[in-house]
Amino acid sequence: MFKTEQENFWAGNFGIEYIGRNDSAELLASNLDFFSKALRQASKISSCLELGANIGMNLRAFKLLYPKMNFKGVEINKVAAKKLSKLIGDKNVFQGSIFDFKTKEKVDLTLIKGVLIHINPEKLGLVYEKLYKYSKKYILVCEYYNPSPVGIAYRGHSDRLFKRDFAGEMLDKYKDLELVDYGFSYKRDNNFPQDDITWFLLKKVK
């Protein structure tokens, strides 16, 4: 059904187990702090598309920060997508692979957080293209960073987590993108920990 081992991995039981580990009030609080910082340099945004939205923990934070924003999400795991639909509505959720997602609509902000690290490296270009193509203004990339590509074990599994300079690759690929802001969130933060995520806010310039 899917093109890569990584897709099957997240569409199956591991993806369901992930839901339980990432549904908490503490994570929501950390996400509120995270996104308020990551988007402080962004001008007005009224619509957002998240690739790999899971159950919507990121979008729950967005709903509090931007109550009038319109949301769309893509999620490969059926169980997670069902929960996501309850948050943003069935019509706004695409249940399936990011690689298969298509739309004629564009949004002010495309978002990806902790997803590019799990994409087969040979398929990254397809995801970059969707982040770029469906954005009218901003792209927010939030991932593990490494200056050169490297693969590491993930919860006992190999070929499931890859670190690299995702944002840098997008800046090289699309010449009308510019870096607006960037930052780092540490897993040992006393109040609002994240999983050592580096974020990059990119903007399309005319």
Q: Model's pTM, two decimal places?
A: 0.93
What is the tens place of the pLDDT at every residue in 119-144? 999 999 999 999 999 999 999 999 99
The position carrying tokens 């770029």 is 132
Question: With b meaning 16 or more CB within 10 Å and e meaning fewer, what string describes 165-175?
Answer: bbbebbeeebe
CATH of domain 5-204: 3.40.50.150
Q: Which residue has the higher pLDDT, 20 or 167?
A: 167
Encoded tokens for 154? 């993930």
What is the tens place of the pLDDT at every residue in 112-124? 999 999 999 999 9
Encoded tokens for 200? 């990059």
* Domain edges within the chain: 5-204
Question: With b meaning 16 or more CB within 10 Å and e meaning fewer, what string describes 98-133?
Answer: bbebeeeeebbbbbbbbbbbbbbeebbebbbebbbe
